[in-house]
Amino acid sequence: MDSISAEELVIEEGKSGELTAAFQIIRETTINDVPKFGQKTCREVARVVACRTYAPALLELCHLIVAASATDRISGRFENFFWDSGPARPSAFKGNLSQCSALPGGLTVQGAGVEIDYGEGEFGITFARMPFLSALLEFLVTS
């Protein structure tokens, strides 16, 4: 018999049929027959959305989109960063950012993540956080 935690029970009870279907789409998304998002990432997106604690994550996602847009020096589009980088793994995002030959001023790749300097302040996002933010973006686009 599977043991369900109180948190999981509350999350499951808070989901509508439509929300459950949207989460299922995220879980079933694949790249070259490999799941794009890990189970832990999918559970975290479900928890954040069902518990309505997504405001900080959306702020992080906005900053990550700024960084992703900067990686495409020709068109300034962010889509390739999220959808053409293979399965959403920290190493894939790190490789994507590290391979950029000339990042614009204010954007630096550091050991654990990326730093964006806006002149009036900085914002950092770790590579470990990027799969979750990518899954959150996927959820927003598909639901």
- DSSP-assigned letter for residue 54: -
In tens, the pLDDT along 33-81 reads 999 999 999 999 999 998 889 999 999 999 999 999 888 766 668 888 8
More confident call, 116 vs 3: 116
Tens digits of residue pLDDT in 74-133: 666 888 889 988 899 999 999 888 887 667 778 888 889 999 999 899 999 999 999 999
pLDDT band at 1 (very low <50, low <70, confident <90, very high): very low
